[in-house]
Structures are given as structure tokens and as C-alpha cells.
Amino acid sequence: MNHKNALTPWLFIGPAVLLLIAFSLLPILVSLLISFTDMNLIGLRNWDVISFVGFENFIALFQDSLFHRSIVNTLVYVSIGVPLVIVCSLSVALLLNYMTNKLFTFFRVLFYVPSITNIVAIAVVWGFLYNMDVGLFNFILNSLGLGKVPWLEHPFIAKISLIILAVWKGIGINMLIYLAALQSIPRSYYEAADMDGANKFQKLRYITIPSLSYATFFVTVTTLIGWLQFFEEPFVMTGGGPLDGTMSMALFIYESGFQYNDFGYAAAASLILFVFIIVATLIQFTFNKSKEN
């Protein structure tokens, strides 16, 4: 388009670009730099005591058993949580797409609400529900004649408990994306299938699911990136315990950085998490490409 002044576009994008450079792009470089140093709280006040340590942080991380635990736990979160979120949000979207009336609109709101409510509040509420002695869940199990479950007291069960919470929270936004995608499938596809005598499951298998492939791709990538950064749930509910059973990579980074003030070490760990995220995203993109071809 013709506009006389070459400066005009920069007036519009300037503020956003400047802030992004300062708080997103520049930090990546700084992060890379400090990951090769022994930057800590003392170094924050006096730059002279910071020294370049080469790959020492990374070598130490490879030998740190807590960091190993955090990687394994994060992989458990991702490999159970991501498929669960996708299956649940697709199922809910398919059910909600069945009819349009006031009742179904109400259900749509109901399933969406957990995803916009505050994660700390949610973690606090679920912490109460999961309480071993006075929690609602154990009371219900007890009434059914079943024993108590140590929801947050057992290293593996605690991981599952956090996953259940996060799936509950994760359904809403993905369900909306699926609903939007479902509503954009042309009706004529189903009419043609009806004429060919296709049954419900054939229509689901050969029309609905393939038409949702872009939505599924989008949902998978964003969910995967989100779950690799699993943080608030273990931070508020378990603090990484019991026995480091819920320690995630993101929580490990937060603790090394802001509780032990070991900024260099934490920055190195954060770059490893970044590599995980890039690799996971790239795998998704290649997988999606090969499916399209």
C-alpha cells in the first residue's frame, strides 16, 4: 500500500517489537551466555566474581540424579497427559456437537470453565479434595467400601493425581478448537456418506477424524509444549515431593534459579528443556508433513 512516510509502519509495530526484543529475544542470548558461567546471587551484585566455566553446568546436570528424575517425571506427564487431553477434548467436542440448544450451550461453558480459572486456586481446591484424611475423594471411595488412596503421598500415585487435575483443566480450550473445526466440516460429506449407506462409526472414522487432522495437529503441538513446561500443579500441591516423585523440569529450573540462586545452573537446565521442546515440535511437524504427502 502507498503511504508517504517510511516511518509510519514502525510507529505501529515499534512498541511491541521493542518490548519483544527486550523481554524475549535478548533473554535467549543472555540465557545462553550465563549457562556457561557460575552466575549466582553474589554475582548478581558484583559482576567481577562471575567466571566462565565452560560446559561445567551441563556436565554437572548430566550427573545430577534430581535432574534425571525431573526429566523422567516430565516424560511421564507428557506421555500420559497429552494423549488423555486429546482423547477427552475430542470426545467432549463430539458429544457437544451432537445438538445445539440451551442445555448444550450450558455444558459447553461447564467444560470450558476449568481451563480459564486460576491454576493456583484449582491446585488449592484439588489439594483439599485429594487430602488423605478429610478429602472428598477418599470419603467417596470409603463409602463405596474401598480403601484410602494416598493421592499425594505416594511418588507414582501423586504423578497420576497431578495428571488427572491437569487433564481436567486442559480439556476446555482444546474442546473449543475441536468444536470450531467440527462446525466447519461441510454437511455434504455426511449426506454423500448417508447415500452410500455408511454407518455412524464409518462416518466418524472416514470423514470426521480425517477432517479434524489440522485441529489435531494444532492441539497436539500446543498441548505438548504446555505439558513439557508442567509447573504450577507440582509447585503448589506437592512442591515436587514425595521423594521427588512429582519434580518436573520446569520446577527443577525454578528451584535451582530462585530458591538456590544458582542462575548459571538453572539457565543451563532451561536450555536443555528448550531443546526438548524444539525436538518435540520438529517431530510433530515432520510427522504431519509425511502424513500430508
User: Binding residues for another protein, how many (CB under 8 A)?
Assistant: 97
CB of 269 to another protein, least distance (A): 8
Calculate ∠ Cα 236-177-74, nearest 5°: 35
Is the CB of residue 169 less than 8 Å from the CB of residue 119?
yes
Q: Contact letters (x/-) for another protein, 155-194, by CB under 8 A? A: -------------x--x----xx-xxx-xx----------
For the segment 11-50, give every residue that binds another protein (CB under 8 A): 11-13, 15-17, 19-20, 22-28, 30-31, 34, 39, 44
| Nearer residue to another protein within complex by CB, 116 or 195 | 116
CA distance 258 to 33: 18
Does residue 82 contact residue 217 with C-beta atoms inside 8 Å?
no
- The distance of closest approach from Cβ of residue 81 to another protein in the complex, given in angstroms and rounded to an integer, is 16
Q: Is 144 in the site for another protein (CB under 8 A)?
A: no
Q: Scan residues 247-276 and list those touching another protein (CB under 8 A).
A: 249-250, 253-254, 257-258, 263, 266-267, 270-271, 273-274
Per CB under 8 A, the segment of 60-68, 79-87, 133-141, 149-157 that binds another protein is: 133-141
Selected binder of another protein within 46, 48, 65, 133 (CB under 8 A): 133
Terminal alpha carbon distance of the chain: 36
User: How many residues in total does the chain contain?
Assistant: 293
From residue 243, how far is each of 24, 64, 156, 239, 240 by CA, in Å?
34, 15, 10, 10, 8
Cβ atoms 78, 228 nearer than 8 A: yes
